[in-house]
Amino acid sequence: MNSKQSDRRGFLKKGAALAGMAAFASSKALASVTPGLIKGELDTKLGTVADEPDINDLVYGGRSSYEKTIAIPSIGTLGSTGLRTLTPLQDSVGIITPAPLHYLVQGDMHIPNIDPSKHTLIIHGMVERPTVFTMDDLKRMPSVSRVHFLECTGNSGMMHYKTLLQDLKKGRKDVSVIQGVHGRTSTSEWTGVPLSVLFKEVGLRDGATWFVAEGGDPNAELHAKSIPVAKAMDDIIVAYAQNGEAIRREQGYPIRLFCPGFQGVCSVKHLHSIKLVDKAYQMQREISAYTNLKPGGMASRYESQVGPKSLITFPSDAHKLPGSGVYEISGIAWCGRGKISRVEVTLDGGRTWTDATLQTPVYSKAWTRFRLPWTWNGAEAVMASRCTNEFGEIQSTMEGLAKLWGDDVTPHVPAAEILRWWADTKSSEFLNNPIQFWTIKTDGSVEDATYAPLYKLPA
């Protein structure tokens, strides 16, 4: 046997021994062996820093210490009695939002940690067989996994832009329009039991056209919502998993209702009770909150479906381009009704539009990533995206949305007056899907060109 063969056999024996240790040794033993092995063999080759994890760090892995993206606290949260975070859209890639970066809207400071072995879901009311389901019951039933977005009802509203300005005046420096105004949306893969399966199990009585979903945390703010049965029979899920693992506490552990394409308030967390009824219950979240107040004092209720919406996430106002050259414009588009079929990008403030490339597969009621190559010559540019869904519905400008609001009021209110009202009123507006324009300045900085101009409208 020559020396090379001997060295090779010795190396293989050493490798087998290490593999055996990895398979059978205790975590403590691995923790003492692995760092030395990595430091001795990999640091020199790869130039990595000496902060290697041990096995206990890897049983539920973390990210590199060089990655700093976070879901920042929401704007206006100083002194707040609720927990709210914002998804960093400006750093997003693809369409799936990591669970730690999923936005959060919590009405109080309490996030329950419910024991799943003790948690139940009762379905009662106008049903033939009132039933209490345990978590084991639910996980034995037919399940689905679907990719869908979730979005807070007020996301992209003028009220959030006004709050952002207040935070900036107070000296806050970690927030931008892309995250502060638009960051209440995320997309995940949701796994659970179709609510239609559970309804067939209990048997709906004639006349049961609505159901009331109620959250099950007795120590938190009560969350209940009336939802049409027709939506349940279409695509609602009783979800117990998100992105391949159990739903996290802040997202409703151990189960939440998930209503694809509907405003986020409908997707009740910590789901405990579903009552079948013959009409909406007219609760606080349906008559005094999450309603669109119009000029004159009238409000529209039970508007739930999110319209076609898109955002250029790069470049956006969280970025600064280092200089002229080739870039890839990238963003997300989504809609509460069907799939996104087209995204167009303008580089001249809306005078001309170019089709962007859509990342496949394109899912229904989910983010769709779009991309467009762009060579920047260093001159000022005004860019935006607009999307169209498979039914031909097109995303509108802020002025177009104002016209829709004005046309919906009797007597008619001109769009310009609606825009001034949005800028001045203290009321909130919901289900917003305006085209977001960004101005690329000659120094590479990026500024909002949709919300700021509303504060310059003539009185």
Question: The whole model's pTM is what?
Answer: 0.87
Q: Are 103 and 183 in contact (CB under 8 A)?
A: yes
**Residues 181 and 199 occupy one common structural domain:** yes
Of 235, 265, 300, the one marking the end of a domain is: 300
**Residues 289 and 318 occupy one common structural domain:** no
**Residues 153 and 292 occupy one common structural domain:** yes
Query: Can you give the pLDDT at residue 40?
Result: 41
Query: Can you give the pLDDT at residue 109?
Result: 84
**Domain assignment of residue 313, yes or no:** yes
**Residues 38 and 101 occupy one common structural domain:** no
**Domain assignment of residue 66, yes or no:** no
**Residues 287 and 375 occupy one common structural domain:** no
Q: Are 327 and 315 in contact (CB under 8 A)?
A: yes
Residue 132 scores a pLDDT above 90: yes
**Domain assignment of residue 274, yes or no:** yes
Which of helix, strand or coil describes residue 273? strand
Who contacts 456 (Cβ-Cβ below 8 Å, separation ≥6)? none
Of 250, 265, 300, the one marking the end of a domain is: 300
**Model confidence pLDDT, tens digit, residues 313-331:** 999 999 999 999 999 999 9
**Residues 287 and 144 occupy one common structural domain:** yes
Residues making up the chain, counted from first to last: 459
**Cα 407 off chain centre by:** 31
Percent over 70 (pLDDT), the chain: 86
**Domain assignment of residue 367, yes or no:** yes
CA 24, CA 36: separation in Å to the nearest integer? 19
**Model confidence pLDDT, tens digit, residues 59-114:** 999 999 899 999 999 999 766 667 899 999 999 999 999 999 999 998 888 889 99
Backbone angles phi, psi at 309, to 5 degrees: -150, 140
Q: How many other CB atoms sit within 10 Å of the CB of residue 200?
A: 11
Indicate the pLDDT class of residue 49, thresholds 50, 70 and 90.
Answer: low
**Model confidence pLDDT, tens digit, residues 422-456:** 888 887 788 899 999 999 999 999 999 999 998 77
Q: Which domain holds residue 129?
A: 79-300
Q: Residue with structure tokens 């039970």?
A: 302
β-strand pairing of 237-242 with 245-246: antiparallel
Of 300, 333, 366, the one marking the end of a domain is: 300
Q: How many other CB atoms sit within 10 Å of the CB of residue 268?
A: 25
**Cα 53 off chain centre by:** 30
| CA separation, residue 222 to residues 2, 60, 87, 365 (Å) | 77, 33, 25, 27
**Model confidence pLDDT, tens digit, residues 148-168:** 999 999 999 999 999 999 999
**Residues 292 and 317 occupy one common structural domain:** no
**Model confidence pLDDT, tens digit, residues 239-279:** 999 999 999 999 999 999 999 999 999 999 999 999 999 99
**Domain assignment of residue 71, yes or no:** no
**Residues 14 and 144 occupy one common structural domain:** no
Give how many domains the chain has, as a whole number: 3
The domain that holds 346 is classified in CATH as: 2.60.40.650
Residue 459 scores a pLDDT above 60: no
The domain that holds 238 is classified in CATH as: 3.90.420.10
Query: Can you give the pLDDT at residue 457?
Result: 66
